[in-house]
Structure 1
C-alpha cells in the first residue's frame, strides 16, 4: 500500500472516530427509562405496574404474568380479569383512568393506555389492579420522579 493511500485511510478513520461521540450525545437526549414496581401476587398471578419516561412524556402500563412455571400435567390457566390502570401527577393533573377486561392465557400481558406530558421535576403516581370476578384485589403502585 502506498504512503498516500495509507495516509488517506488513516484520515478517514480518524474522521469517523470523531463522529461517534456526537451521535452518542444526541441519542442520550431522547432515552427512555422504564421503572417498574416489585411484582405482587394478584388473582394468583404476578402483577406489576411500570412507568416509561422519555423526556417529559410518560406512559404507564400494567403487566400480568404467571407467578411461576405451569405444573406439568395440569391445564394452563385461563383467567378473565378486570384490570384498572390509573395515573396522575402527584399534586396535579390526572394522566388517565382505564378499566379494561383481559383474558389471561398464560402469556405475559400488558395493559397500556394511560400517560401524557408532565412538568419536569414532578412525580408520577401509577396504580394497577387485576381482579377476577368475585375476588377483590389490591393495587400495585409506583411513584416515579420525572427529571427530564
Structure 2
C-alpha cells in the first residue's frame, strides 16, 4: 500500500470515529440545598431565629436558639427549660406541620427540628419559631418567608 493510500485510509477512519454518537453515561444531578434564615428575635431572653433548608421542592424547617450576647465575666451560663413551637406552611396552600416540644437550653446554640414537607416550585413557605420559658410569657415568634425556586 502506498503512503497516499495509507494516509487516506487513516483519515477516513478518524472521520468515522468523530461521527460516532457519544455514549457517555449521564448521572442525574441533585439540586443544591439552599439554607435561608430569618432575622433574629429576642424570646425568653435568648436570641432565636427560624431557618429553612430547601432542596428542589423539599423544605425542612428548623429553629435555632443561642445566647443573646456574650455572658458577663464571672457569671454562670444560663440553663433554661423552654417550650418551643415550630410551624410552617405554603402561603395560600398546605401546612407543612407544627411541632411543640420542651427543650433544655444550656448556653450553646441549639437547633429544634421536626417540620418538613414539599412545596410547589414558585411558591413561598412561611415559617414561625416561638420560644418561651416556663416562668415568662411568650413573645412574638421568629418568622421567615422563603421562596421555593426549584
In the other structure, the counterpart of 2:149 is 147
CA distance in 2, matches of 1:60, 1:130: 15
CA distance in 2, matches of 1:116, 1:42: 26
In the other structure, the counterpart of 2:33 is 32
CA distance in 2, matches of 1:41, 1:47: 6
Is the CA contact 2:39–2:143 (under 8 Å) kept in the aligned structure 1?
no
In the other structure, the counterpart of 2:90 is 89
In the other structure, the counterpart of 1:130 is 131
The alignment partner of 1:51 has SS state of: strand
**TM-score relative to the length of structure 1:** 0.79
Where does structure 2 lack aligned partners over 5 or more consecutive residues?
A: 1-25
In the other structure, the counterpart of 1:66 is 67
Can you list the C-alpha shifts for 1:62-118, whole angstroms capped at 9, x where unaligned? 000011111111110011100000000111111010001001000100000001111
Larger Rg: 2
- In terms of fraction of residues, the more helix-rich structure is 1
**Number of residue pairs matched?**
124
The alignment partner of 1:126 has SS state of: strand
CA distance in 2, matches of 1:33, 1:91: 22
Can you list the C-alpha shifts for 1:18-60, whole angstroms capped at 9, x where unaligned? xxxxx9xx75x42110110111111111100001100110000
Aligned-pair Cα RMSD in Å:
1.6
The alignment partner of 1:119 has SS state of: coil
Q: What is the CA distance between 1:132 and its match in structure 2?
A: 0.6
Q: Which contiguous aligned blocks of 4+ residues in structure 1 show a shift greater than 4 angstroms?
A: none
Q: What is the CA distance between 1:134 and its match in structure 2?
A: 3.5
In the other structure, the counterpart of 1:10 is none
CA distance in 1, matches of 2:91, 2:68: 31
The alignment partner of 1:68 has SS state of: coil
